Amino acid sequence: MLLTVMTSLLYVLAINAAVRSFGNGYPGVLAVGHLKQKTQALGLWVRHMAVHPFSREHPDPLPILKAAAKRHRVPSDLVIAIARAESALKPHRISAAGAMGLMQLMPGTAADLKVKDPFDTEENIDGGVRYVRFLWKRYRGDRRRIAAAYNFGPGHVPRRGALRLPGETRHYVNKVVGKKRATR
């Protein structure tokens, strides 16, 4: 029993240390939440680095973000604001929840969007912007709801009516679209 506990503790420490070291994320060293997603993200990062061992240098993401926004018919300023809020434009970022790359795609979302290498700048941006396009249509261009759904998930953000968001998501929405009005 003690061996199982110690093994589990070492696993948690190793995963969180790897996310901090390689993915520039900030999970707590003993954070047990999202272990599956963080493990998946690290596996995809290792695969990316095996195929692209010198990919620490990346193209400027701003022209790629603008081109993807134009291609998918969404405002480039919204896409750029989301990318800045998500990753500070760092393509190898892994979040404490296991979100990956510049647009911080969760492993399941990346798979749904058919993004094979979420650490490839262009592929990650294209997938993230396609997701923004989906949200743009769903929320009819309501930037506050789009930002909230990108952060909190569309299942938690109603198409109409009051926005009841947790503090972290309210902060995120204000960071992306500004403080036009308070949300509860």
- Active-site option among 86, 122, 123, 168: 86
CA distance 82 to 128: 9
Q: Please, is 165 exposed, middle or buried when counting C-beta atoms within 10 Å of its C-beta (0-12, 13-18, 19+)? A: buried
Task: Tell the residue number behind the tokens 């926004």, with chain if given.
Answer: 69
CA distance 78 to 147: 9
Within its chain, how far is the Cα of 74 from the centroid? Answer: 18
Strand partners, 105: 100
Does 86 qualify as catalytic in the annotation? yes
* DSSP secondary structure letter of residue 154: G
User: Which residues are annotated as catalytic?
Assistant: 86
